[in-house]
Amino acid sequence: MRQYDYIIVGSGIAGLYTALLARQHGSVLIVTKGSIDDCNTKYAQGGIAAAIGKTDSPGLHFQDTVAAGDGLCDEEAVRILVDEAPDRISELVNLGVTFDTIEGEIALAMEAAHSVPRIVHAGGDATGEHLEVTLSNQVSSARIKVLEDCLAIAIVVEGGAVSGIMTLDSRTGKTEELGCRFLILATGGAGQLFRFNTNSRVATGDGIALAFEAGAEIVDMEFFQFHPTALRLPGATPFLISEAVRGEGGVLLNREGRRFMSGYASQGELAPRDVVARAITYEMSKTGSDNVFLDITHLPARVITSRFPQIYRFCLRHGLDITREPIPVAPAAHYMTGGVKVNTWGETSIAGLFAAGETACTGVHGANRLASNSLMEVVVFGKRIVEKAGQGGGQSPVARSGADVRQRLPRRPLRKDAPPPGLSALQHLHWEKTGIIRDRARLAEAAGTLATWQETLPLPADRASHELRNLVVTGRLLAEAALLREESRGAHFRSDFPRKSAEWQRHIILTGQPGGGQ
């Protein structure tokens, strides 16, 4: 059996960044189910939040993050993020990331729910792609070993601690066990749960399902963030229209051409994402439409094309000139706020197992992620993972807090009327039953169907069947958590419990039996 000090599953910014740091402490292997650049990172348009402006401070960044998190942020984790963010920007510059500048200084943009401009960009709206390419080149130069087209299919746990992973070579069908001292899950999110989403096709909840089936704690799964403005054009896949477009002055109009956000929130278009997404949903329902419009035609064309080159080019390829016409948009699933429960050093409840990026739940985002905090979360806590492991940490499970709700997944009777399982059926189920606006009946129906699929799916044998299995497990965790939380908070909205409750100012942690049992 091949043995490594660090095995990192995933090749987005979380995986690449931690690999570059970990190589200083031992042997490193990156395992990725596609090519090294198949990830969500390159889709990140908005940028990275850091308090480096003259009018900004870590204190302001802290306040904005906690306000967006709606009572569920881990304030220690937020404080670490905002305090370390400026240094992490400097490190990325040293790694070769070229951020946009104005007169020699890093340019800062405004985004919704931030009190001052603090969003650092690269290539306008191509920040994720710039990060991915830069870090990928660094990994290649460092000669870090990468196994492509290799799917992690199980975490091997011995004596309560990680000892390695089982992998499946998608090209040959061969399985292999690989050993390690430390395993870092950096597999990204689970946007493919939903029919309309802004994620890469690789975002299938792999790390969540692997960790859950190994016995790790999973937290905050009910808080799935929907981006308010994804392109909605016939024949075009949902494409993210960045928060920054509204930050630059874009306005939302309904089908009748009327601006409507002031009727839902005092901040108007710059209200938190969950508020804007629900407002758009209500407005579409009122007008019998499947979209609203985001209008930036009042801005100079040169500003639009230079500030949002990716968005401009993508829309133009589909026959839409955003300098002259408003953009048809609608909400789409975007970011998994919950995930594998970790402490401020990235440690999980299983010794030797760490998680980073969207796979992990550090507590920074609380019930609703503040725009552009996610990329910064990756580099801040990715660095802390390697520091902890390099000091010999991660050898014992993290301590548990007593205030949270802990529950094993309930056993549910098999549903005779459940539709046949499949990716399309799963995505339709989640969009209709666990989407932006939820209620008990639809959540219970989703949980029952997903439990039936979980019990009856045949053993996976290839990448597609493993991904479907992972989506079913991850989706069930989402549905069960959303059913438990009888209130509305942040990205979780229940029409049958439309107000926030002090009783629910706590986290829902779900666990299973090691080995995949419920």
Which string of DSSP letters, residue by residue, matches 77-107? HHHHHHHHHHHHHHHHHHHT----EETTEE-
C-alpha distance across the termini of the chain, in Å: 30
The candidate with the shortest Cα–Cα distance to 274, out of 11, 458, 488, is 488
Q: Evaluate whether 52 touches 86 at the Cβ level (below 8 Å).
A: yes
CB of 154 closer than 8 Å to CB of 165: yes
CA-to-CA distance for 496 and 377, rounded, in angstroms?
Answer: 33
**DSSP string across 264-303:** T-TTGGGS-HHHHHHHHHHHHHHHT-S-EEEE-TTS-HHH
Burial class (CB in 10 A: 0-12, 13-18, 19+), 377: buried
Whether residue 273 lies in the annotated active site: yes
3-class state of residue 162 by DSSP: strand
Cβ count within 10 A of residue 415: 16
Tell me, rounded to whole angstroms, the distance of Cα 477 from its chain centroid.
Answer: 15
Strand order from edge to edge, sheet including 508-511: 360-361, 339-341, 218-219, 508-511, 405-408
Q: Identity (one letter) of the amino acid at 126?
A: A
| Given 118, 181, 246, 273, the catalytic residue | 273
Contact 362, 319 (CB under 8 A): no
Instruction: Pull the structure tokens for residue 385.
Output: 């993972």
346 close to 388: Cβ distance less than 8 angstroms? yes
The number of residues in the chain equals: 518
Tokens of 364: 């920074």
Residue 489: which residues within 8 A CB-CB, separation 6 or more?
A: 70, 71, 72, 367, 500, 504
Q: CB-based burial of residue 287 (10 Å sphere; 0-12 exposed, 13-18 middle, 19+ buried)?
A: middle
For Cα atoms 513, 426, 365, give the angle at the middle one, nearest 5 degrees: 65
Structure tokens at 261: 């956000």
Known catalytic residues are 273
